[in-house]
Amino acid sequence: MINLTNSEHWLIEKSAQTPKQIAIFSDTEKLTFEQLTNASIFAAKYLSKCGVKQGDNVGILAEHNYRFWILVNALWLIGAVPVSLNSRNTSKELVLQLQKVGANALINLTEEKHKYTFIGNLSFDDFDFTNTEPSQIDFQHTAFSLALGGQAHHSSLIMFTSGSTGKPKAVVHTFKSLFESVKAADAYFNLSDQDLWLASLPLYHIGGFMILVRSLVNGSSVVFPQSLKHNDIIECSYTYNPTHISFVSTTLKRILENGQRPNKNLKYVFLGGGLLSKELCEAALQKGFPIVKVYGSTETGSMVCALKPEGFNNKAESVGKALTEEIKLLVSNGELLVSSPTLFKEYYKDEETTKQKLINGFYHTGDLGRIDNDGYFYIDSRHENIIITGGENVSANEVEMGLASLPGVTDSFVFGLPDETWGEILCAAIVAQNLFEEEIKSVLRLKLAPFKIPKKFFFVKEIPRNEMGKVTRIGLKQMLNLNEAEAGLENP
């Protein structure tokens, strides 16, 4: 249940309501909302002295820990906009992203201290993040107003899409859209200030970032694992017994393979990051994991659609229903469209792409789907995952599901390769043990139409994926030693 009036900065208001409530657990610190507020004000003063001012776009490059959240709140108090950056990006990629959003400064808390000559590099090497004492120096934070055109409608976050296709876009959210996202989750899942969230996803992806926003707006606690490594996440879940955890399918699959059980206080496991195997979800449910399949994107402010555990009885293939009546989902010409108060404001200084994706209040997701008579939505594939071979449309995801059902196949990715006869032929990159091409084709013929059987297989040790489980096409192209056009892996 949300008790904020949303007329003051979230952290300031929540600190006034429940100052002694624990806001953050980590392996080194435990901060109340009052202490988190003091630490954020302390950081805001330091940033102001460094020249950061209201309206600035400031990049944050950080490891997975609570310091990131202090800095985000510090920037919000100043009225600056955090630009959450992927710490795994190359320097070249970071330069392009910082330039794209016209960033005024960069905060780098990683071990890689590369200096960027075109931007102010803010050093926090000597900054004391553990200083949670009330400040002796007055600090006047920016106003926060719900009035039309006020702070709630101002930009609150710039976040890049995953870029799995090689074209990351700079998504701009407002305080209103993020707040509405929490309201929708609260309405559907009946959140409580006694909840404990596990920060189990990267903070530079919307799924990870919204874990922090939900815990703040709802007044509950969040625990940071030592890292996002599998063992650290599992150890943290058993040590702190969180009520809410978010996973991608690869993490859940590994947990099941290791025979691990859910912690005792677990209410929900949110599972997203792409099309999900029905078999994986059912296996997790049988082990006692309260799986909730969720659907959303950076543009929708994380989840807008969900399927609770009880829905798996007869709707296991769907992504569920919209979280609230305010969220409207419809299918037009096979494409899923979303109208929601949680939608992003724009792509940063990209009016053309914004107009292509936001039309009459609906976000065109690029996902191909359908709706059944009971109002449940199904995602079949993305536009770029449709391969036209010999005049037939083939869903790469359908073929991948067929491959996933084969014993010995642990991962796969299906794509098209240009062909003079067929236009495109189906190709599959596969991670498999003790399987040969003819064996795979023989089994697939029992599951799929002949034109859906890949004509070429690439056996690899690993398929490159990002932290959200999405295949990085450029990385796969390099692994297969194929140029973009030859591999059919060019940017859609």
Q: For 167-216, give the DSSP string.
A: ---EEEEEHHHHHHHHHHHHHHH---TT-EEE--S-TTSHHHHHHHHHHH
In 3D, which of 167, 173, 165 has the Cα closest to residue 298? 173
Summarize pLDDT for 401-456 with one digit per residue, the tens: 889 888 889 899 998 888 777 778 899 999 988 888 999 999 898 888 788 899 99
* Residue 291: both structure tokens together: 């799986």
Give me the pLDDT at residue 419, please: 77
Proportion of the chain above pLDDT 90, given as a percent = 61
In 3D, which of 204, 221, 289 has the Cα closest to residue 251? 289
Taking all residues of the chain, what is their mean pLDDT, rounded to a whole number?
Answer: 88
Cβ atoms of residues 60 and 68 within 8 Å: yes
CA distances from 140 to 54, 79, 82 (A): 12, 11, 19
Summarize pLDDT for 11-56 with one digit per residue, the tens: 999 999 999 999 999 999 999 999 999 999 999 999 999 999 999 9
**Where along the chain do the CATH 3.30.300.30 domains lie?**
390-487
Q: Which helix (H) or strand (E) holds 238?
A: helix 230-240
Cβ atoms of residues 448 and 400 within 8 Å: no
Query: What CATH code is assigned to 390-487?
Result: 3.30.300.30
| Maximum Cα–Cα distance across the chain | 76
Give the amino acid at 133. E
Q: What is the mean pLDDT of residues 352-358?
A: 95
Query: What CATH code is assigned to 10-377?
Result: 3.40.50.12780
Indicate the SS3 state at residue 477: helix
Summarize pLDDT for 133-168 with one digit per residue, the tens: 887 667 788 888 643 346 556 899 999 986 544 467
In 3D, which of 95, 111, 115 has the Cα closest to residue 103? 95
Indicate the SS3 state at residue 144: coil
pLDDT at 385 over 80: no
- CA 106/CA 61 separation, integer angstroms: 7
| Residue with tokens 């004000």, as numbered in its chain | 41
Pairing of strands 291-297, 268-272: parallel
| Residue with tokens 């190709």, as numbered in its chain | 427
C-alpha count within 13 angstroms, C-beta hemisphere, residue 439 = 9
pTM over 0.85: no
Give the amino acid at 3. N
**Where along the chain do the CATH 3.40.50.12780 domains lie?**
10-377
Summarize pLDDT for 287-309 with one digit per residue, the tens: 999 999 999 999 999 999 999 99
Confidence of residue 492 (pLDDT cuts 50, 70, 90): very low
Residues in the chain: 492
Confidence of residue 477 (pLDDT cuts 50, 70, 90): confident
- CA 116/CA 58 separation, integer angstroms: 13
